Structure 1
């Protein structure tokens, strides 16, 4: 594409963004805008067209590491790194919100904390949140991740974390890649078994939060599953 054409395209993209805002753009248009603004020498339209043709959907693109994207013909290494960073910055921002949340004394606060950890994850991940006797967060970390929609948790890792941090209370949380927030049979079995394990180690599992990209539920606050936490 000639430099004059690139310049005209950039002007049009900027005008569309100013007129319609981010919500008025498709994902590919937003990505093209970002590439134009940050990498002025690249052919933003060619890159977004290539990505769209190869990976079809936004969700597919989000899962592609920079090293793999670089191997695609027409994708410059700088653009691949930029796109990869662009996908992950929102995750870091969400995690950063939890620095201001020191205590999880209410269900709403717990849901917020879990959503910040999990709502933007592209694969299923499991988080373990450890609280002291005042329900102050003493540790929160991911303890498992899956290839797509399933993650297996190691009981030995849970034991290790319990031994190190000695929490009074524990909250488990994981995300569903699908839209449903309904706990699966494996979710229920995992919750029951994990509560027993944590109890043997001197702690108490007080909730299991399930998150999708838009919302979250508390199993302890759900009448169908609250019995697990009252045994």
Structure 2
């Protein structure tokens, strides 16, 4: 059997397995191998997938990497790097479409699930404000800042401006902990209390502050921090 026919046979088997089982039974390198079929024709992508994941430490680390770094470190084409980097953005777009236009966040669980969707593929700390109407429907979600929470003394001013601009009846705060811990820091609690105090003066309520790490979350209100 020629090398060409061998690769064709292998690719066909991998695709058939996906159609039958989905991705849940795939290892990370197999997920990447399948994805790379659509950027690298007629070449074994298994060894490359192993090497790329090792280079960036994990599949998620690879997906979140800068396309230029993927090209330089893995020796792949720009097309391959762009395809890989599209994954987190496509996931966020998918979740946005899945939630629909009239998103009602009337519980900590719904607020947490919605917040998780905002941070897919975000590998730096991000802080969001979610503006709600009187029926707890999302009017607008806005990225307030990217970076450490210690670096953002301007949070209250920006949040007040956004809440007023979008005529929020109430808001939910959300930020992520890329490091993996869901435990709120003292800075998290302090900035939350400051924002609550400032917004009370203009009659806008802070309904919750959600901290996200990966696909998990914690509600500060539910855990008596708010």
Tell me the TM-score normalized by structure 2. 0.83
The offset of 1:173, in angstroms, is 0.9
1:45-194 equivalences under 5 Å are 45-72=46-73, 74-118=75-119, 120-146=121-147, 150-151=148-149, 152-153=151-152, 154-155=154-155, 156-194=157-195
CA contact (8 A) 1:126 1:143 kept: yes
- Aligned-pair distance for 1:219? 1.3
Match of 2:11 in 1: 10
1:198: Cα distance to partner? 1.9
Q: Which runs of 5+ in 1 are unaligned?
A: 227-231
Task: Output one character per residue of 1:82-112: Cα deviation in whole Å (capped at 9) or x when no partner.
Answer: 1111343222212323324433233333223
- CA distances 1:16-35 after superposition (whole Å, capped 9, x unpaired): 54675422221111110122
Tell me the equivalent position of 1:204.
205
Give, in whole Å, the separation in 2 of the partners of 1:161 and 1:128: 8
Residues in 2 aligned to 1:113 and 1:207: alpha-carbon distance in whole angstroms: 13
Deviation at 1:5, TM superposition (A): 4.0
Q: Please give the root-mean-square deviation of Cα atoms over the aligned residues, in Å.
A: 2.7
TM-score w.r.t. length of structure 1: 0.81
| Counterpart contact for 2:64–2:85, Cα < 8 Å | no
Distance in 2 between the 1:120 and 1:60 partners? 9
Gaps of 5+ in 2: none
Structure 1 stretch displaced more, 99-108 or 130-139: 99-108
- CA gap of 1:67–1:120, structure 2 versus 1, over 3 A, is closer
Kept after mapping to 1: 8 A contact 2:105/2:111: yes
Deviation at 1:77, TM superposition (A): 1.5
Q: Closer, same or farther in 2 for the Cα pair 1:197/1:45, shift >3 Å?
A: same
1:86/1:215 Cα in 2 relative to 1: closer, same or farther (>3 Å)?
closer
The alpha carbon displacement at 1:66 in A equals: 1.4
SS of the residue corresponding to residue 22 of structure 1 reads: coil
Looking at structure 2, the residues matched to 19 and 99 of structure 1 have their Cα atoms a distance apart, in angstroms, of 29
1:151-182: CA deviation from partner (whole Å, max 9, x where unpaired) = 44433322321331232211101122244322
